[in-house]
Amino acid sequence: MEIEDFPSHIIEEIKKHVGDLEFTKTFITFITSR
């Protein structure tokens, strides 16, 4: 899964609710679990 394929509006929504560090960890976990 490419990062470019991930909808940017979802990324922005997640960033509203979590810090950048937590977002990064969650995002990496999400991608690597695919």
| 4-32 pLDDT per residue, tens | 667 888 878 877 878 778 878 988 898 89
C-alpha span between 31 and 3 (Å, rounded): 8
Token code pair at residue 5: 């394929």
User: Given this model, what pLDDT does residue 15 score?
Assistant: 78
User: Given this model, what pLDDT does residue 3 score?
Assistant: 59
Q: Is pLDDT of 1 > 70?
A: no
Q: What's 33's DSSP letter?
A: T
Q: Is pLDDT of 34 > 70?
A: yes
Q: How many CB atoms lie within 10 A of CB 33?
A: 7
> For residues 26 and 18, is the Cβ–Cβ distance under 8 A?
yes
> For residues 15 and 23, is the Cβ–Cβ distance under 8 A?
yes
Q: How many CB atoms lie within 10 A of CB 6?
A: 13
User: Given this model, what pLDDT does residue 2 score?
Assistant: 62
